[in-house]
Each structure stands twice: as C-alpha cells, then as structure tokens.
Amino acid sequence: MARPTADDIAFARKHRRQKRRGRAPSFAALRLANMYALFRDRYGDALPDDDAGRDDLRRMLDHLAGSSEAERRMSSIARAWAPWMPDVERDQLIAAVIAKPRRYRADTLAVLLHVTDAERQRLRLWTIGSVDRNREQRIADRKARRRQAEQQRRRAAGARPRHEYLATCREQRDVRGHYTGEYRGGTDPQ
C-alpha cells in the first residue's frame, strides 16, 4: 500500500475537522478516495509505467484541477503515484490538466477505468459507475436493498406482514362473532 503523502495527511486532517463541524467532504474528495482504492487494489503502491498508468494519473489529476493549491497537490499526488515519471513529463501533464481539466460522469469514468459492478460493490466505489450495470439498474438495485433492509428492521421491531395481520384479525372477528362474512351488503372480497 502506498504511503500517504504529507498532502494526503493534511487533507485527511482537514476533512476530519470538517466532519466534526458537520460539513461533508467535497464530491471531488470522495471521488479521489474511490479512485485511490481502485488503483491500490489493481496496482498496489504505484501506477504502472505505461499508457494505462499515465491515463489513470491524468484522470486523478483532473479531479484536483478545481481545488485550492491545485498545482502543488497535483505534483504531490503525481510523485506518490507515478514515481517513475520524469519531472519534465509530470510538469507538462499538470500544465495540460490545469489548461483544460475534464469532468467525468460516473458511467463515463467507469468505462474509462473498466470498473465492473462486482469490483464496484467489493471496493464500495459509490462515486464511480460500472460497465455492466447502467445508472437505472443501479438505482433499482439500491431501492431493492433499502426496501429489504427496511423490511428486516420492521420485522426485528415486531411488525408482521399485512397478510398475516389481516388473517389474524379475520380469525379473531369470526371467533367473537362481530364479523358476519358480508362486506357492504355483498360477500367478503376474499
């Protein structure tokens, strides 16, 4: 695992303070954390010395372009993740990013980084999409997981499903004689 740089430590300290104050970290910080997790899982301490490594570094630096002290932070991250990159090439890359930073949607970044849904779930990359599940499918999955969690929470609290509750009510009404079997002048709808 790559050792955190001084900038990473300062960044983490700043966001811990903000969290205590009730402020959430920026989206760029969350996206970068997801990209760090992905690259550590794939490559280990440093990006590979090839075109893919350079492209991945460019995508990381694009997310820093709008931050304060962008050039210094980009240089620090480039040194940490691409120690093999010559200073001249690193400076040219940083100048290119500052001149024309790119912004990525979750699914676009997923295609560029080749992130599968299994990898996304395992690493909890919530700010990056996946190549095998589109946005609508991920939203449907999230709703299903929330619905199931809520159902489990209600069961743990003692709630019963509606059909069980209604069956119990009907049985109790039949025993007490208050339920005649007729429903508004007709027969019972069940």
Q: Are residues 150 and 167 in the same domain?
A: yes
The whole-number pLDDT of residue 129 equals 92
> Average of pLDDT values for 98-118?
93
Phi, psi of 173 (to 5 degrees): -65, -40
Whether the Cβ atoms of residue 112 and residue 103 lie closer than 8 Å to each other = no
The whole-number pLDDT of residue 122 equals 93
Q: Give the structural domain span for 139.
A: 134-175
Confidence of residue 13 (pLDDT cuts 50, 70, 90): confident
Q: Are residues 111 and 28 in the same domain?
A: yes
The whole-number pLDDT of residue 163 equals 80
Kindly state whether residue 1 falls inside one of the protein's structural domains: no
Q: Are residues 98 and 170 in the same domain?
A: no
Q: Are residues 129 and 74 in the same domain?
A: yes
Its pTM surpasses 0.85: no
Coil, helix or strand at residue 183: strand
Encoded tokens for 127? 């700010």
In whole angstroms, give the CA distance from residue 68 to residue 10: 13
Beta-bridge mates of residue 187:
182
Mean pLDDT (the chain, rounded): 84
Above 90 in pLDDT, residue 97?
yes
Percentage of residues of the chain with pLDDT beyond 90: 54
Phi-psi region of 148 (alpha: psi -120 to 50; beta: other; left: phi over 0): alpha
Q: Which residues contact 6 (CB under 8 A, 6 or more apart)?
A: 76
Kindly state whether residue 184 falls inside one of the protein's structural domains: no
Please tell me which of 2-6, 163-167, 176-180 the model is most confident about, judged by mean pLDDT: 163-167
Task: Select from 54, 61, 56 the least CA-distant residue to 84.
Answer: 54
DSSP secondary structure letters along 128-182: S--SSS-HHHHHHHHHHHHHHHHHHHHHHTT---HHHHHHHHHHHHHHHT---SE
Q: Are residues 79 and 154 in the same domain?
A: no
The whole-number pLDDT of residue 20 equals 67
Coil, helix or strand at residue 186: strand
Q: Which residues contact 185 (CB under 8 A, 6 or more apart)?
A: none
Kindly state whether residue 161 falls inside one of the protein's structural domains: yes
- Render pLDDT for 18-61 as a digit per residue (tens, 0 to 9): 666 667 778 888 899 999 999 999 999 899 999 999 999 999 99
